[in-house]
């Protein structure tokens, strides 16, 4: 892996240099855009692209999107004055993928299940006895499904 800065590395290939320049321009526009936003709103959105006078911004949820749409021209005009030829603002909600369902990763051995079963038979406290019974039903039920 090279320890050269990206700007030095990208000079070796014209396409990579163009891509690096475009990415840096978007990051600059993103910073300029976020400076115009009130409060913490800038933390919940990001500039996606800028093409043909249209600034596309991704909002992290529909509430942020609605707020950005309301700001519309109050953000477009200052950006234009800063040298960005923005004519329109389009806000899109960035869909968040659902969190993956985690499978059961913990398994009790047969010896462990037998030890819990013996303990459940000897314990007098009904709350603890029921909890152990539930644990045993859960783990033995899972084993039967395999």
Q: What is the pLDDT of residues 19-66, one digit of tens each?
A: 888 899 999 999 999 999 999 999 999 999 999 999 999 999 999 999
Domain count, the chain: 2
CA atoms within 13 A on the CB side of 117: 12
Q: What is the pLDDT of residue 101?
A: 80
The bridge status of strand 54-59 relative to strand 45-51 is antiparallel
At 25, is the secondary structure helix, strand, or coil?
Answer: helix
> Which range of residues forms the domain containing residue 59?
6-93
CB of 76 closer than 8 Å to CB of 42: no
Residues 88 and 115 placed together within one structural domain of the fold: no
Token digits for 136? 């045993």
CB atoms within 10 A of CB 69: 13
Whether residue 102 lies inside any domain: the answer is no
Q: What is the pLDDT of residue 106?
A: 75
Spatial strand order of the sheet with 54-59 comes to: 45-51, 54-59, 88-93
Residues 26 and 89 placed together within one structural domain of the fold: yes
Whether residue 56 lies inside any domain: the answer is yes
Whether residue 103 lies inside any domain: the answer is no
Residues 126 and 62 placed together within one structural domain of the fold: no
Q: What is the pLDDT of residue 98?
A: 79
Residues 85 and 36 placed together within one structural domain of the fold: yes
Taking the model in full, what pTM does it have?
A: 0.60
pLDDT at 9 over 70: no
Residues 21 and 88 placed together within one structural domain of the fold: yes
Mean pLDDT of all residues belonging to the chain = 86
CB atoms within 10 A of CB 115: 12
How large is the C-alpha radius of gyration of the chain? 28
Residue 7 confidence class, pLDDT cut points 50, 70, 90: low
Residues 72 and 15 placed together within one structural domain of the fold: yes
């Amino acid at each position: 892996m090279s320890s050269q800065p990206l700007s030095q590395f990208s000079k070796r290939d014209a396409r990579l240099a163009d891509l690096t320049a475009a990415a840096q321009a978007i990051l600059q526009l993103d910073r300029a855009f976020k400076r115009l936003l009130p409060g913490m709103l800038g933390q919940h959105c990001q500039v996606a692209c800028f093409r043909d006078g249209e600034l596309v911004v991704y909002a992290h949820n529909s509430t942020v999107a609605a707020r950005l749409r309301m700001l519309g021209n109050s953000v477009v005009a200052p950006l234009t004055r800063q040298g960005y030829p923005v004519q329109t603002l389009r806000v899109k909600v960035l869909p968040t993928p659902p969190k993956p369902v985690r499978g059961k990763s913990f398994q009790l051995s047969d010896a462990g299940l037998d030890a819990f079963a013996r303990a459940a038979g000897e314990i007098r406290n009904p709350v603890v006895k029921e909890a152990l019974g539930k644990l045993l039903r859960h783990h033995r039920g899972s084993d039967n499904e395999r």
